[in-house]
C-alpha cells in the first residue's frame, strides 16, 4: 500500500497560492542578471558620501572599516544565498526575507518583525530615491533657468509619475536591462567624480589639504560612529532573497557569481571615490562630493559639463533604485492577496 504523501510543514509558503510569486516574480535569470540586480541594490549614489565618512576616521581607520565591512557583508550575503539554496533543495523555496526568517527562526513574532523591518527599509529607500531624484532635477533646472518658477515638490511629483509608469513592468526579472544600465551609470558618475576630484586637486584653486581629526574627544567619537554607520549602510541590501528568486533553477553557484560581480563594481567605485575625494578635501569634505566640488564661495572646482553629466547619471540611477525597491514592496503586498489559481 502506498504511503500517504508527507504533510507540508510550511503550507503558508506554497507558491501556487502566492499572488506575489504568481504575478511578480519570474525565475528566468542568469547569474549576470543577479549581478545587475545586486549592484543596483548596493552600489548607489551613497558612494558620493564616502569622502565624508573618511573625514571622521582618517586614512587608516577609513580603509580598515571599508574593507572589513565589505568582507563581512559579502560573507553574510554568501551564507544567506547558501541557506536559500539549501532550503530550495529541501523543497522549500523562499522568495522573501520573511519566509526565510520564518523557516529558520520560526513563524512566530520574528515573521512579523522581519516584515516590518524589510518594509520600512524598502519604503525608506524608495521614498529617499524619489526625493533625491527630484532634487537632481531641480539642480539641473536651476542651472538651465535660474529664474524659473518651478518648486521642488513639482519635480518630486514628476519623478513619482515616472516611477508609477515604470513600476508597471510585469516582473522583477524585467528590471534586468534597467539594472544593467544602472550598473553602467554608477561607474559613469563615479569615474566622472574621480576625474573631477583629481583635476581639482591639481588645479591652482585646489583647497588646502588637512587630514587631521577633530581635536575634541567627544566630537571625534561621534564623527567616527557616524562614519562607520555611513559605510555600513552603503553595503546594505534588503532584497537578496527576491533577487535570488529571479534566477532560473537550479540556482546553485549563480548567486555567488552575481555577488562577485557586484562586489567587483563596489570595489572599483567605493575605493576610488573615497580616496580621490578625501585626498582633495581632507577634513573639509562635505556630505556629498558634488557639494565639495561646488563650494558656496569661489569658482566651481570642476567643469560644469562634468558636474551636470554626473547629476544626470545620479538621477537616472535613482529611478532604477526606487523602481527596484517599489517592485520588492509589490511582492510583499500582492502576496497577501490570494492568487486566481487558489480561488
Q: pLDDT tens for residues 29-74?
A: 788 888 898 998 888 888 888 999 999 899 999 999 999 999 999 9
Condensed to tens digits (0 to 9), the pLDDT of residues 145-174 reads 778 888 888 888 888 888 777 767 666 667
Pick from 208, 198, 202: nearest CA to 306? 198
Mean pLDDT computed over every residue of the chain: 79
Percent with pLDDT over 90 in the chain: 19
pLDDT of residue 46: 83
* CA 339 to each of CA 91, 244, 279, 335: distance values in angstroms, whole numbers, following the listed order: 21, 22, 55, 8
103 Cβ contact partners less than 8 Å away, ≥ 6 residues apart: 10, 13, 87, 92, 94
Contact 335/210 with Cβ under 8 angstroms? no
Higher pLDDT, 223 or 120: 223
Q: Does the N-terminal peptide bond of residue 224 adopt cis geometry, omega within 30 degrees of 0? A: no
Using pLDDT thresholds of 50, 70 and 90, give the confidence band for residue 333.
Answer: low
Report the predicted TM-score, pTM, of the whole model to 2 decimal places.
0.80
Residue found by looking up cell 490570494 in the block: 338
pLDDT of residue 19: 54
Contact 325/317 with Cβ under 8 angstroms? no
pLDDT(26) > 60: yes
pLDDT(268) > 90: yes
Condensed to tens digits (0 to 9), the pLDDT of residues 74-112 reads 999 998 888 888 877 777 777 777 777 777 777 667 777
> What's the helix, strand, coil split of the chain in %, to 5?
75, 0, 25
| Least confident span in 34-38, 144-148, 241-245, 309-313 | 144-148
Average pLDDT score over residue span 327-343: 53
pLDDT(341) > 60: no
Amino acid at each position: 500500500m502506498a504511503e500517504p504523501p508527507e504533510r507540508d510543514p510550511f503550507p503558508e509558503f506554497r507558491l501556487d497560492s502566492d499572488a506575489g510569486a504568481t504575478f511578480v516574480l519570474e525565475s528566468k535569470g542568469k547569474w549576470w542578471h543577479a549581478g545587475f540586480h545586486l549592484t543596483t541594490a548596493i552600489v548607489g549614489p551613497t558612494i558620493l558620501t564616502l569622502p565624508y565618512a573618511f573625514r571622521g576616521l582618517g586614512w587608516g581607520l577609513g580603509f580598515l572599516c571599508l574593507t572589513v565591512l565589505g568582507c563581512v557583508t559579502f560573507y553574510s550575503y554568501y551564507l544567506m544565498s547558501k541557506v536559500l539554496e539549501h532550503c530550495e533543495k529541501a523543497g522549500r523555496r523562499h522568495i522573501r526575507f520573511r519566509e526565510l526568517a520564518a523557516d529558520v527562526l520560526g513563524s512566530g513574532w520574528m515573521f512579523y518583525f522581519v516584515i516590518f523591518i524589510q518594509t520600512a527599509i524598502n519604503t525608506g529607500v524608495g521614498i529617499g530615491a524619489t526625493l533625491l531624484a527630484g532634487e537632481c532635477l531641480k539642480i539641473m533646472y536651476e542651472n538651465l533657468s535660474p529664474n524659473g518658477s518651478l518648486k521642488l515638490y513639482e519635480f518630486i511629483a514628476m519623478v513619482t509619475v515616472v516611477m508609477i509608469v515604470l513600476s508597471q513592468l510585469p516582473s522583477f526579472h524585467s528590471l534586468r536591462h534597467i539594472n544593467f544600465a544602472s550598473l553602467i551609470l554608477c561607474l559613469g558618475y563615479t569615474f566622472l567624480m574621480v576625474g573631477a576630484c583629481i583635476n581639482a586637486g591639481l588645479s591652482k584653486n585646489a583647497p588646502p589639504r588637512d587630514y587631521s581629526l577633530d581635536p575634541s574627544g567627544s566630537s571625534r567619537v561621534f564623527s567616527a560612529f557616524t562614519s562607520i554607520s555611513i559605510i555600513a549602510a552603503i553595503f546594505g541590501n534588503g532584497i537578496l532573497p527576491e533577487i535570488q528568486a529571479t534566477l532560473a533553477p537550479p540556482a546553485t553557484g549563480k548567486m555567488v557569481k552575481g555577488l562577485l560581480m557586484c562586489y567587483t563594481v563596489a570595489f572599483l567605485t567605493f575605493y576610488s571615490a573615497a580616496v580621490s575625494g578625501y585626498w582633495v578635501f581632507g577634513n573639509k569634505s562635505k556630505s556629498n562630493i558634488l557639494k565639495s566640488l561646488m563650494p558656496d564661495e569661489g569658482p566651481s572646482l570642476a567643469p560644469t559639463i562634468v558636474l551636470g553629466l554626473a547629476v544626470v547619471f545620479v538621477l537616472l540611477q535613482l529611478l532604477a533604485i526606487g523602481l527596484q525597491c517599489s517592485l520588492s514592496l509589490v511582492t510583499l503586498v500582492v502576496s497577501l492577496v490570494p492568487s486566481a489559481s487558489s480561488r
